[in-house]
Amino acid sequence: MVAGRLQEKNGFYYIVLSYTDSAGKRRQPWIATGLTVKGNKKRAEKMLAETRKSFTIPKGQVSELSPDMAFSDYMRYWLKMMRTAVTETT
C-alpha cells in the first residue's frame, strides 16, 4: 500500500499518493475525486482509503531494491548498474 493524503484545491478534494520509483525519485500523482470540500470529507476519506488499497505502482517504476534485501543480491544489482559506468582495464 502506498502513502496518501487528501488535498483541497479550488473547492474540490484531490487524492495525492506518494511512492518512490525505481530511479529513487519521489512520485506524487494527483487524482481528482470530483467531490466539493463542503460536506464531503468522510466520503473523500473513504475514497482515499480505497484508492490507496487498489493503487499499483506502474510497471516500469517498481524498484528492484527492498529494505530486507540480502547483501549479495544488492551487490549483484549494484554491479549490473555500474557495468555501464565503468570501463574494463587490464
Sign of CA dihedral 13, 55, 80, 73: positive
Domain ranges, residue 10? 3-82
47-89 residue pLDDT tens: 999 999 998 877 665 566 677 788 888 888 888 878 777 777 7
User: What's the pTM?
Assistant: 0.64
Question: Confidence class of residue 46 from pLDDT cuts 50, 70 and 90?
Answer: very high
Please tell me the total count of domains within the chain.
Answer: 1
- Please indicate, yes or no, if residue 87 is contained in any of the structural domains: no
The answer to whether residue 89 is domain-embedded is no
In this structure, is residue 90 part of a structural domain?
no
Quick check: is 59 in a domain?
A: yes
Q: Is residue 88 part of a domain?
A: no
